[in-house]
Chains A and B, each alone.
Chain A
Amino acid sequence: MTAMTGYDIPSSPKPGPRAWAQVLIAETKSVARDTAGLIIPIGMPSLLIVAQGAGPSQESVPGTGGRSVFEVFLLPLMLVMVISLIGIVNMPSFLAMYRKEGLLKRLAATPANPAMLLAAQVATSLIQTVIGIALALALSAWMFGLSGPITLWPTIGAFALTCVAMYAAGMVVAAISPTTNAAVAIGLITFFAMGALGGMFGGSQNLPEVLAELGRWLPYGAGVDALQHAWLGKGIPWQRLLALTLATIVGAVSAVRLFRWAR
């Protein structure tokens, strides 16, 4: 063990890819070892989607190749609801817990940067969410005879874009929340506000036009619309793609800029 007494202070001492990989590995191990944290991302999608599918929504919608009301209208809504609940409420609470316990303060004294922590959080949470949603879809296909999307790759693309947009919003919540309770409160308010404007409590056509249009530009409404179009083999409106892309960029940049290491 030696103490460095030389004169060479690196001019650009930013951690390299090895550090990013180590943070991701550390986060993955922590998640895998704290199994209670897996219940929401793995279990909740199945619970919500199966509960909706079991309702009176199996009538087929004309002009959709025999697809049910559940598949055409409810499934995209439920998928986006699951992504946003986990991305905006569940994921940020872990980072807020790290902040409250002083783990982030410890990292703040090292050359680690906020982007690598946020990216590791998003990556590990996203993996859990994808597993949870894949399980829920497999269960729905088995129980309700889900036909699946008419165009697979655009649907996967719309799903992926919705995920990153929603997680970008969640990153902002994670960046600023001093405690777990604060993260849950800010996350829930954001979730319900975006959900209400995006048609979570009934069609957005029931809202005043200004609010409905605002909802379509927010990640929840844009995600539902994009998924619905892609699932039915229709082209995704460019406005929805633009809205999701903008939300991703604005969210990610704001999160890194607003990130606080300590409470």
Chain B
Amino acid sequence: MDNIDALDHVEHHRGGDGHSHEDGQANENQLGSNPPMIAVRLHRSTVPNRDGAGLVPEVMVSNDDGRHMWLSGVEAYRRLMTKIALEVVALRREYRSKAVLDGIDLSVSVGETVGILGSNGAGKSTLVETIAGLRRPSSGTVRVCGLDPWRDRARVRSILGVQLQDAVLHPDLTVLENVRLHRSFYRHGEQPDQLIQHLGLTDVARTRTQRLSGGQQQRLSIAVALIGRPRVVILDELTTGLDPEGRRSIWELIENIQANGATILLVSHSMDEVERLCDRVIVLDKGRILGAGTTRELRDQTGTAHLEDAFLKLRTQDTTPRRPA
């Protein structure tokens, strides 16, 4: 974060209800619709809060006339909660003059789980690999926590946990060795033993990766995606090929990760998976977004009763104007 001490013209406003204005009322004209956060700090409150520490967050924003001010209370929490974790604007990726991604707009808030739904060749994997900085956009911008994943590769990779569809782990290393290897790449992270236990892999911790079942391999790939304590997690078709029991067990695992506040981008073929796990869904086809919203919104938008029907209808109505997700 920016050095707070270096900022000038800071006004400190804290109303009784925690809004930005001195009289306790939010002033949208002064703040703009949703000005970007400049800094965050912890402030010791005179009123003890639930954790007893008495620390409350304060958020610095810039108002329309360029002055900075601190927000606290409900307004600060709202700004923190709506912070953008992922932002994709007009993303285009070409391969041999053919557009694999064609003008993708996507915004994911901190703590949100967004599903990417699409059939084979829709551009799902290309999209997540571009967001992860593994592919360079032909045009458009991608930001992960405000950073360009291609230019700031090292920094983005330190805050990103990725599970890729066609990527494997060292087959001759054990589960524990693979997790320890990946832990060594991050300055901060989980304890390998604890994470393995949490993911139900303790019994196979000393088994070589090549001898694991499909479900165990998926759990391990999730473990290495989470070992660096990532802010943003990308999961690409993580339950493909698993039996119903294995899928449900992985879903419970993802729900656990969600409960801990992670931002998740989930690529899937599976409607029930997306319906169960995702706050919002984008439907991708031939590199374009055909529809976006909650599963209910997609059903309402298409006048269908099930997400699968909505998906199929969106694909057949390919004339639907593109809309940002």
Of listed A1, A7, A15, A102, residue having the most chain B CB within 10 A: A1
Expressed in whole angstroms, the Cα–Cα distance for A101 and B167 within the complex equals 7
Is the CB–CB distance between B190 and A4 below 8 Å? no
Is the CB–CB distance between B162 and A109 below 8 Å? yes
Q: In the complex, what's the smallest C-beta–C-beta distance from B5 to chain A, in angstroms?
A: 16
Other-chain contact of B185, A11, A12, A15, A30 (Cβ < 8 Å): A15
Is the CB–CB distance between A105 and B170 below 8 Å? no
- Residue B160 lies at the interface, judged by CB distance under 8 Å to chain A: yes
Is the CB–CB distance between A2 and B260 below 8 Å? yes
Please encode chain A, from 104 to 127, with 1 for each CB lying within 8 Å of some chain B CB and 0 for all others: 011011111100000000000000
Given known A-B contacts A1-B256, A19-B185, A261-B134, A9 and B147 have beta carbons under 8 A apart: yes
Interface size on A, residues (CB 8 A): 38
- Residue A65 lies at the interface, judged by CB distance under 8 Å to chain B: no
- Residue B195 lies at the interface, judged by CB distance under 8 Å to chain A: yes
Q: Which residues of B contact A11 (CB under 8 A)?
A: 155
Q: In the complex, what's the smallest C-beta–C-beta distance from A110 to chain B, in angstroms?
A: 5
Is the CB–CB distance between A10 and B158 below 8 Å? yes
Q: Which residues of B contact A8 (CB under 8 A)?
A: 1
Is the CB–CB distance between B231 and A4 below 8 Å? yes
Is the CB–CB distance between B231 and A3 below 8 Å? yes
- Residue B50 lies at the interface, judged by CB distance under 8 Å to chain A: no
Please encode chain B, from 156 to 179, with 1 for each CB lying within 8 Å of some chain A CB and 0 for all others: 011110101011111011000100
> Which residue of the partner chain B has the closest CB to A13?
B158
For the residues of B in contact with A, the DSSP-based class is: loop
Is the CB–CB distance between B173 and A105 below 8 Å? no
Q: In the complex, what's the smallest C-beta–C-beta distance from A96 to chain B, in angstroms?
A: 15
Expressed in whole angstroms, the Cα–Cα distance for A23 and B170 within the complex equals 11
Given known A-B contacts A1-B195, A22-B180, A101 and B228 have beta carbons under 8 A apart: no
- Residue B230 lies at the interface, judged by CB distance under 8 Å to chain A: yes
- Residue A253 lies at the interface, judged by CB distance under 8 Å to chain B: no
Q: Which of B230-287 contact A (CB under 8 A)?
A: 230-231, 233, 256-257, 260-263
> Which residue of the partner chain A has the closest CB to B195?
A1
Is the CB–CB distance between B257 and A103 below 8 Å? no
- Residue B69 lies at the interface, judged by CB distance under 8 Å to chain A: no
- Residue B307 lies at the interface, judged by CB distance under 8 Å to chain A: no
- Residue B89 lies at the interface, judged by CB distance under 8 Å to chain A: no
Other-chain contact of A103, B167, B188, B231 (Cβ < 8 Å): B167
For the residues of A in contact with B, the DSSP-based class is: loop
Is the CB–CB distance between A109 and B134 below 8 Å? yes
Please encode chain A, from 25 to 51, with 1 for each CB lying within 8 Å of some chain B CB and 0 for all others: 010011001100000000000000000
- Residue B187 lies at the interface, judged by CB distance under 8 Å to chain A: yes
Q: Which residues of A contact B160 (CB under 8 A)?
A: 109
Other-chain contact of B229, A2, A21, A102, A106 (Cβ < 8 Å): A2
Q: Which residues of B contact A16 (CB under 8 A)?
A: 187
Expressed in whole angstroms, the Cα–Cα distance for A105 and B221 within the complex equals 13
Expressed in whole angstroms, the Cα–Cα distance for A13 and B157 within the complex equals 9
Other-chain contact of B155, A1, A13, A262 (Cβ < 8 Å): A13
Is the CB–CB distance between A4 and B110 below 8 Å? no
Is the CB–CB distance between B260 and A3 below 8 Å? yes
Q: Which of B141-165 contact A (CB under 8 A)?
A: 145, 147, 154-155, 157-160, 162, 164
Is the CB–CB distance between A110 and B173 below 8 Å? no
> Which residue of the partner chain A has the closest CB to B256?
A1
Q: In the complex, what's the smallest C-beta–C-beta distance from B121 to chain A, in angstroms?
A: 18
Is the CB–CB distance between A102 and B158 below 8 Å? no
> What are the nearest 3 A-B pairs in CB distance?
A3-B262, A13-B158, A106-B167
24 contacts between A and B (CB under 8 A): A1-B190, A1-B195, A1-B226, A3-B257, A3-B262, A4-B188, A4-B230, A5-B110, A13-B157, A16-B187, A19-B185, A23-B181, A29-B173, A30-B173, A103-B170, A105-B134, A106-B164, A106-B169, A109-B157, A109-B164, A111-B185, A111-B186, A113-B154, A262-B134
Instruction: Name B's A-contacting residues (CB within 8 A).
Output: 1, 40, 110-111, 132, 134, 145, 147, 154-155, 157-160, 162, 164, 166-170, 172-173, 177, 180-182, 184-188, 190, 194-195, 198, 208, 221, 224, 226, 228-231, 233, 256-257, 260-263
